[in-house]
Amino acid sequence: MRFFEDQIRKVTPYTPGEQPKMQDVIKLNTNENPYPPAPGVAEALNNMEADTLRLYPDPTASKLVGAIADYYHVEPSRVFVGVGSDDVIAMSFLTFFNSDKPILFPDISYSFYEVWADAFRIPYHKIPLTETFQIDPRDYNADCGGVIFPNPNAPTGVALAADQVEQIVRNNQNTVVIVDEAYIDFGGESVLSLTEKYENLLVVQTFSKSRQMAGMRIGFAIGSEKLIKYLSDMKYSFNSYTMNRPSIEAGAAAIADDGYFRGMCAKIISTREWAKKEFRKRGFEFADSKANFIFVRHKSAQARELFTKLRGKNIFVRYFDQPRIDNYLRVTVGTEEQMEKLFTALDEILAEQ
């Protein structure tokens, strides 16, 4: 018994946000978009013939790849798609971070980075954010095996300007730099154009947030042809059919409706900026978020207590029991109605303090 257990690869898994099973909840804990996908998505799925599901999907997902390439004005050979951005990033870790030198990522960031590094036996070093939760590009000017960071960062929502991102890429041209732009469409400055300038830059985005399709699991990366070729080779060594037929059809339909996409992003941004004012009125502090969430702490009420009492009112936000951020809550931007109910609940809770 002991012998085979010694051979098992053991990791501490990523902990996703809670998915409540009860009805009538306000779910502001997993950064899902509160609005439905573009109307063309439902139409595309309704037009699919069930009989086609007995057939394997296109291993190249050419319809979806072509739609993404057209939208972002790049060649299809520079686009890679996967089952959510998590799949794309995990495959990227396995493909590009193959050195004895540690990869670098922020200490307060997407916690899956550490999980993947441990799972793939990749050495890593976590770079502390500044006291104001900023990424300092100078901290990444080091001899390393690669760099990855979200922009805007999660869970803080703080965004780097494009020239700051470029500074990190420019100072690490002997390794691959991955910029995780899961939340970029809510106010950040994308560096997709820099993939034409830097052969070592990979930019990853997702349909889960700004395109309202977390349930379809669609992620993609754009980079140089060389990086995408290496990434595709790794994918085909694992599973040639990672993208299913409905996802390909739905993804292509979603990206075709640019007006809906921009309108929904603007709606989230407007609600976020209004919510910032409401949080400030109630004594909350936070960095300037450019994502579809706000990372808040109260001047006197403890985050854990607020989290527990909100949960008791069927309002779910995210609490991280981790050093430096254990007195913060990450609150997804929901609909205006959902946010109004959140603030009503907070008023009731804070009145009891």
Q: Which residues contact 342 (CB under 8 A, 6 or more apart)?
A: 26, 28, 310, 315, 317, 331, 334
254-306 pLDDT, tens digit per residue, is 999 999 999 999 999 999 999 999 999 999 999 999 999 999 999 999 999 99
Q: Chain-wide mean pLDDT for the chain?
A: 96
pLDDT digits (tens, 9 = 90+) for 224-236: 999 999 999 999 9
Q: By C-alpha distance, which of 248, 261, 151 is closest to 209?
A: 261
Per the structure block, which two tokens stand in for 40? 């063309």
Containing structural domain, residue 129: 39-257
pLDDT in tens, 149-201: 999 999 999 999 999 999 999 999 999 999 999 999 999 999 999 999 999 99
CA distance 199 to 170: 11
DSSP code, position 98: -
Given 211, 229, 257, which residue is the final one in a domain? Answer: 257
What is the distance between the alpha carbons of residues 137 and 134, in angstroms, rounded to a whole number?
A: 9
Query: What share of the chain has pLDDT > 90, as a percent?
Result: 91
Together in a domain, 252 and 335: no
Contact 34/339 with Cβ under 8 angstroms? no
What CATH number does the domain containing 329 carry? 3.90.1150.10
Average pLDDT over residues 19-46: 95
The whole-number pLDDT of residue 22 equals 83
DSSP for residue 76: G
pLDDT in tens, 44-65: 999 999 999 999 999 999 999 9
27 and 45, same domain (yes or no): no
Output b/e per residue, 152-175; b: 16+ Cβ within 10 A. bbbbbbbbbebebbbbbbbebeeb
Peptide bond into 155 cis (omega under 30): yes
pLDDT at 185: 98
pLDDT in tens, 76-92: 999 999 999 999 999 99
Query: How many domains does the chain divide into?
Result: 2
Query: Do 243 and 82 contact (CB within 8 A), yes or no?
Result: yes
Which helix (H) or strand (E) is 298 found in, with range?
A: strand 293-298
Same domain for 131 and 249?
Answer: yes
Q: What dihedral do alpha carbons 174, 133, 112, 251 form, nearest 10°?
A: -90
Tell me which amino acid residue 275 is: A
174 in the same domain as 63: yes
How far, in whole angstroms, is CA 99 from its chain's centroid?
Answer: 25
211 shares a domain with 246: yes
| Residue percentage of the chain with pLDDT more than 70 | 99
Rounded to an integer, what distance in angstroms lies between the CA atom of residue 279 and that of residue 254? 33
Tell me the DSSP string of 175-205: S-EEEE-TTGGGT----GGGGGT-TTEEEEE
Domain boundary among 204, 237, 257: 257
Q: Are residues 110 and 190 in the same domain?
A: yes
pLDDT number for residue 207: 98
Give rounded-to-5 percent helix, strand, coil for the chain: 45, 15, 45
For the chain, give the number of residues: 353
Judgement on whether residues 157 and 239 belong to the same structural domain of the protein: yes
Give the CATH number for residue 70. Answer: 3.40.640.10
User: Are 52 and 189 in the same domain?
Assistant: yes
Residues 207 and 102 occupy one common structural domain: yes
Going by pLDDT thresholds of 50, 70 and 90, the confidence category of residue 1 is low
177 and 320 belong to one structural domain: no
Instruction: Assess whether 54 and 115 both reside in one domain.
Output: yes
Question: Is the same domain home to 57 and 101?
Answer: yes
Picking from 214, 231, 257, the residue at the C-terminal end of a domain is 257
